[in-house]
Amino acid sequence: MLIVGEKINATRKRIGQACQEGNAELIVQTVKEQVQGGADYIDVNAGLVGKEVQTMEWVLGLVQQSTELPIMLDSSDPEAMKKGLELVKKKPIVNSISMEKDRLESFTPLLAEHECGVVGLCVSDAGMPSGVDDRLATADALIEHLTGTCGKKLEEIYLDLGVFPVSAQPQAPMDMAAAVEKVMAKYPGLHTIAGLSNVSFGLPERRLLNLTFLALLISRGLDAAICDPNTVGLKATIAAAELLSNRDEFAMNYITAHREGKLSS
Protein backbone atom coordinates (compact mmCIF):
# COMPACT_ATOMS: atom_id res chain seq x y z
CA MET A 1 0.00 0.00 0.00
CA LEU A 2 1.43 3.32 -1.14
CA ILE A 3 0.81 6.15 1.34
CA VAL A 4 0.89 9.75 0.11
CA GLY A 5 1.20 12.28 2.93
CA GLU A 6 -1.56 14.85 2.41
CA LYS A 7 -0.65 17.68 4.78
CA ILE A 8 1.50 20.04 2.68
CA ASN A 9 -1.56 21.61 1.15
CA ALA A 10 -1.98 25.38 0.97
CA THR A 11 -5.77 25.03 0.90
CA ARG A 12 -5.51 23.89 4.53
CA LYS A 13 -5.69 26.90 6.84
CA ARG A 14 -2.48 26.18 8.80
CA ILE A 15 -0.31 25.48 5.76
CA GLY A 16 -1.89 28.26 3.71
CA GLN A 17 -1.07 30.75 6.45
CA ALA A 18 2.49 29.42 6.64
CA CYS A 19 2.85 29.94 2.89
CA GLN A 20 1.48 33.48 3.13
CA GLU A 21 3.83 34.36 5.98
CA GLY A 22 6.90 32.52 4.69
CA ASN A 23 6.93 30.25 7.74
CA ALA A 24 9.48 27.72 6.49
CA GLU A 25 9.85 26.10 9.92
CA LEU A 26 6.25 24.89 9.97
CA ILE A 27 6.49 23.47 6.44
CA VAL A 28 9.70 21.58 7.27
CA GLN A 29 8.28 20.30 10.57
CA THR A 30 5.14 19.03 8.83
CA VAL A 31 7.18 17.26 6.17
CA LYS A 32 9.38 15.55 8.77
CA GLU A 33 6.33 14.41 10.74
CA GLN A 34 4.91 12.73 7.64
CA VAL A 35 8.24 11.09 6.82
CA GLN A 36 8.46 9.72 10.36
CA GLY A 37 4.87 8.52 10.05
CA GLY A 38 5.82 6.30 7.12
CA ALA A 39 4.74 8.28 4.04
CA ASP A 40 6.04 6.99 0.69
CA TYR A 41 5.34 10.24 -1.20
CA ILE A 42 4.74 13.82 -0.06
CA ASP A 43 1.84 15.61 -1.70
CA VAL A 44 2.64 19.27 -2.47
CA ASN A 45 -0.33 21.55 -3.13
CA ALA A 46 0.61 25.22 -3.42
CA GLY A 47 -2.88 26.49 -4.18
CA LEU A 48 -2.73 30.14 -3.11
CA VAL A 49 -4.88 32.23 -5.44
CA GLY A 50 -2.73 34.43 -7.64
CA LYS A 51 0.52 33.13 -6.12
CA GLU A 52 0.54 29.46 -6.98
CA VAL A 53 3.61 29.37 -9.23
CA GLN A 54 5.81 31.25 -6.72
CA THR A 55 4.40 29.24 -3.82
CA MET A 56 5.02 25.96 -5.63
CA GLU A 57 8.68 26.90 -6.12
CA TRP A 58 9.12 27.95 -2.47
CA VAL A 59 7.30 25.02 -0.89
CA LEU A 60 8.84 22.43 -3.18
CA GLY A 61 12.30 23.73 -2.34
CA LEU A 62 11.62 23.33 1.38
CA VAL A 63 10.14 19.85 0.97
CA GLN A 64 13.04 18.57 -1.10
CA GLN A 65 15.54 20.01 1.38
CA SER A 66 13.73 18.13 4.16
CA THR A 67 13.34 14.67 2.63
CA GLU A 68 14.51 12.46 -0.21
CA LEU A 69 11.01 11.02 -0.65
CA PRO A 70 9.45 11.54 -4.09
CA ILE A 71 6.77 14.17 -4.62
CA MET A 72 3.15 14.14 -5.71
CA LEU A 73 2.60 17.48 -7.46
CA ASP A 74 -0.96 18.59 -6.75
CA SER A 75 -2.34 21.51 -8.76
CA SER A 76 -5.07 22.53 -11.18
CA ASP A 77 -2.87 25.35 -12.50
CA PRO A 78 -0.82 24.19 -15.52
CA GLU A 79 1.83 26.88 -14.94
CA ALA A 80 2.34 25.80 -11.32
CA MET A 81 2.48 22.18 -12.45
CA LYS A 82 5.04 23.06 -15.13
CA LYS A 83 7.19 24.79 -12.51
CA GLY A 84 6.92 21.78 -10.22
CA LEU A 85 7.90 19.34 -12.96
CA GLU A 86 10.96 21.46 -13.75
CA LEU A 87 12.11 21.45 -10.12
CA VAL A 88 11.48 17.92 -8.83
CA LYS A 89 14.57 15.80 -8.23
CA LYS A 90 12.90 12.39 -8.50
CA LYS A 91 10.19 11.03 -10.76
CA PRO A 92 6.96 12.55 -9.43
CA ILE A 93 3.28 11.74 -9.65
CA VAL A 94 1.07 14.46 -11.15
CA ASN A 95 -2.23 14.97 -9.33
CA SER A 96 -4.38 15.17 -11.39
CA ILE A 97 -5.84 14.98 -14.90
CA SER A 98 -9.50 14.29 -15.69
CA MET A 99 -11.69 13.93 -18.77
CA GLU A 100 -12.78 17.57 -18.47
CA LYS A 101 -11.90 19.27 -21.76
CA ASP A 102 -10.03 22.26 -20.30
CA ARG A 103 -7.88 20.13 -18.00
CA LEU A 104 -7.16 17.59 -20.74
CA GLU A 105 -5.95 20.32 -23.07
CA SER A 106 -3.75 22.05 -20.47
CA PHE A 107 -2.21 18.98 -18.81
CA THR A 108 -1.76 16.57 -21.73
CA PRO A 109 1.36 18.32 -23.14
CA LEU A 110 3.01 18.33 -19.70
CA LEU A 111 2.31 14.65 -19.14
CA ALA A 112 3.55 13.73 -22.59
CA GLU A 113 6.77 15.72 -22.15
CA HIS A 114 7.76 14.66 -18.64
CA GLU A 115 8.55 11.28 -17.10
CA CYS A 116 6.02 11.04 -14.31
CA GLY A 117 3.22 9.04 -12.82
CA VAL A 118 -0.27 10.52 -12.98
CA VAL A 119 -3.48 10.47 -10.96
CA GLY A 120 -6.46 10.11 -13.28
CA LEU A 121 -9.59 11.57 -11.71
CA CYS A 122 -12.81 10.02 -13.01
CA VAL A 123 -14.60 13.28 -13.70
CA SER A 124 -15.80 14.50 -17.10
CA ASP A 125 -17.59 17.54 -18.49
CA ALA A 126 -20.81 15.69 -17.63
CA GLY A 127 -19.89 16.05 -13.95
CA MET A 128 -18.96 13.82 -11.04
CA PRO A 129 -19.69 10.09 -11.31
CA SER A 130 -22.84 8.86 -9.59
CA GLY A 131 -22.62 5.08 -9.93
CA VAL A 132 -20.40 2.19 -10.96
CA ASP A 133 -21.00 2.25 -14.72
CA ASP A 134 -20.22 5.94 -15.21
CA ARG A 135 -17.04 5.57 -13.16
CA LEU A 136 -15.93 2.72 -15.39
CA ALA A 137 -16.82 4.54 -18.61
CA THR A 138 -14.76 7.56 -17.58
CA ALA A 139 -11.96 5.26 -16.40
CA ASP A 140 -11.80 3.58 -19.80
CA ALA A 141 -11.59 6.94 -21.58
CA LEU A 142 -8.93 8.24 -19.20
CA ILE A 143 -6.77 5.15 -19.49
CA GLU A 144 -7.00 5.23 -23.29
CA HIS A 145 -5.94 8.88 -23.32
CA LEU A 146 -3.11 8.46 -20.81
CA THR A 147 -1.62 5.37 -22.45
CA GLY A 148 -2.17 6.61 -26.01
CA THR A 149 -1.84 10.37 -26.25
CA CYS A 150 0.33 10.84 -23.14
CA GLY A 151 2.41 7.70 -23.58
CA LYS A 152 2.04 6.49 -19.99
CA LYS A 153 2.37 2.85 -18.94
CA LEU A 154 -0.46 1.32 -16.91
CA GLU A 155 1.98 1.05 -14.00
CA GLU A 156 2.34 4.84 -14.02
CA ILE A 157 -1.40 5.51 -13.73
CA TYR A 158 -3.18 5.93 -10.37
CA LEU A 159 -6.91 6.00 -10.96
CA ASP A 160 -9.10 7.96 -8.54
CA LEU A 161 -12.65 6.67 -8.91
CA GLY A 162 -14.22 9.33 -6.72
CA VAL A 163 -14.78 9.50 -2.95
CA PHE A 164 -18.00 11.21 -1.84
CA PRO A 165 -19.50 11.82 1.62
CA VAL A 166 -21.58 8.85 2.74
CA SER A 167 -23.80 11.33 4.59
CA ALA A 168 -24.95 12.71 1.23
CA GLN A 169 -24.59 9.65 -1.02
CA PRO A 170 -25.21 6.47 1.03
CA GLN A 171 -24.40 4.16 -1.90
CA ALA A 172 -21.22 5.98 -2.98
CA PRO A 173 -18.68 4.00 -0.88
CA MET A 174 -19.96 0.65 -2.18
CA ASP A 175 -20.12 1.99 -5.74
CA MET A 176 -16.50 3.07 -5.54
CA ALA A 177 -15.45 -0.26 -4.03
CA ALA A 178 -17.17 -2.13 -6.86
CA ALA A 179 -15.55 0.13 -9.46
CA VAL A 180 -12.09 -0.39 -7.93
CA GLU A 181 -12.52 -4.16 -8.11
CA LYS A 182 -13.70 -4.10 -11.73
CA VAL A 183 -11.07 -1.70 -13.06
CA MET A 184 -8.19 -3.47 -11.29
CA ALA A 185 -9.31 -6.77 -12.82
CA LYS A 186 -9.65 -5.26 -16.29
CA TYR A 187 -6.28 -3.47 -16.35
CA PRO A 188 -3.51 -5.55 -14.70
CA GLY A 189 -0.70 -3.27 -13.56
CA LEU A 190 -2.95 -0.24 -13.05
CA HIS A 191 -3.01 1.42 -9.63
CA THR A 192 -6.03 2.82 -7.82
CA ILE A 193 -5.84 5.64 -5.29
CA ALA A 194 -8.25 7.35 -2.89
CA GLY A 195 -8.31 10.45 -0.73
CA LEU A 196 -10.01 8.97 2.31
CA SER A 197 -11.28 11.95 4.27
CA ASN A 198 -14.17 12.93 1.96
CA VAL A 199 -16.14 9.82 2.86
CA SER A 200 -16.70 10.93 6.46
CA PHE A 201 -17.44 14.61 5.88
CA GLY A 202 -20.13 15.95 8.21
CA LEU A 203 -20.17 12.90 10.50
CA PRO A 204 -18.75 12.20 13.98
CA GLU A 205 -15.82 9.82 14.59
CA ARG A 206 -14.39 10.50 11.15
CA ARG A 207 -11.23 8.48 11.74
CA LEU A 208 -13.29 5.33 12.32
CA LEU A 209 -15.18 5.82 9.05
CA ASN A 210 -12.03 6.65 7.08
CA LEU A 211 -10.17 3.56 8.28
CA THR A 212 -13.13 1.24 7.77
CA PHE A 213 -13.56 2.62 4.25
CA LEU A 214 -9.87 2.04 3.59
CA ALA A 215 -10.18 -1.60 4.69
CA LEU A 216 -13.16 -2.04 2.35
CA LEU A 217 -11.25 -0.58 -0.60
CA ILE A 218 -8.13 -2.65 0.12
CA SER A 219 -10.31 -5.77 0.00
CA ARG A 220 -11.28 -4.77 -3.56
CA GLY A 221 -7.73 -4.05 -4.71
CA LEU A 222 -6.93 -0.43 -3.79
CA ASP A 223 -3.17 -0.01 -3.54
CA ALA A 224 -2.60 3.70 -2.79
CA ALA A 225 -4.13 6.30 -0.47
CA ILE A 226 -3.76 10.02 0.16
CA CYS A 227 -4.03 10.58 3.90
CA ASP A 228 -2.28 11.62 7.09
CA PRO A 229 0.33 8.86 7.64
CA ASN A 230 0.26 9.53 11.39
CA THR A 231 -3.44 8.66 11.72
CA VAL A 232 -3.84 6.39 14.73
CA GLY A 233 -4.73 2.89 13.53
CA LEU A 234 -3.73 3.46 9.89
CA LYS A 235 -0.86 0.98 9.77
CA ALA A 236 -2.82 -1.62 11.74
CA THR A 237 -5.81 -1.28 9.41
CA ILE A 238 -3.63 -1.67 6.32
CA ALA A 239 -1.80 -4.70 7.71
CA ALA A 240 -5.01 -6.45 8.80
CA ALA A 241 -6.93 -5.62 5.61
CA GLU A 242 -4.13 -6.83 3.35
CA LEU A 243 -3.83 -10.08 5.30
CA LEU A 244 -7.57 -10.77 5.22
CA SER A 245 -7.70 -9.88 1.51
CA ASN A 246 -5.06 -12.51 0.66
CA ARG A 247 -2.49 -9.84 -0.20
CA ASP A 248 0.03 -10.84 2.49
CA GLU A 249 1.48 -14.30 1.85
CA PHE A 250 1.99 -16.33 5.05
CA ALA A 251 1.04 -13.18 7.04
CA MET A 252 4.64 -11.99 6.84
CA ASN A 253 3.83 -8.26 6.66
CA TYR A 254 1.29 -8.57 9.46
CA ILE A 255 3.77 -10.38 11.70
CA THR A 256 6.48 -7.84 10.92
CA ALA A 257 4.10 -4.98 11.72
CA HIS A 258 3.32 -6.66 15.06
CA ARG A 259 7.02 -7.05 15.90
CA GLU A 260 7.62 -3.39 15.08
CA GLY A 261 4.73 -2.27 17.28
CA LYS A 262 2.69 -0.92 14.37
CA LEU A 263 -0.49 -2.82 15.22
CA SER A 264 -0.96 -0.92 18.45
CA SER A 265 -0.44 2.61 17.09
What would the pLDDT profile of 47-81 be if each residue is shown by its tens digit?
Answer: 888 899 999 999 999 999 999 999 999 999 999 99
Per-residue pLDDT band for 256 (boundaries 50, 70, 90) equals: very high
pLDDT per position as a tens digit, 87-145: 999 999 999 999 999 999 999 999 999 999 999 999 999 999 989 999 999 999 999 99
Percentage of the chain beyond pLDDT 90 is: 96
Q: What is the reported pTM?
A: 0.96
CB 106 within 8 A of CB 130: no
Examine the pLDDT at 15 and tell me if it is beyond 90: yes
Report d(CA 149, CA 168) in Å as an integer: 36
CB 43 within 8 A of CB 74: yes
Residue 16: Cβ within 10 Å count: 17
pLDDT per position as a tens digit, 171-190: 999 999 999 999 999 999 99
Candidates 185, 128, 186; CA nearest to 160 is 128
The H-or-E segment that residue 191 falls in is strand 191-195
| 19 CA to centre of own chain | 22
Report d(CA 7, CA 34) in Å as an integer: 8
pLDDT at 189: 97
Q: DSSP class of residue 127?
A: B
Q: Most distant CA pair in the chain: distance in Å?
A: 53
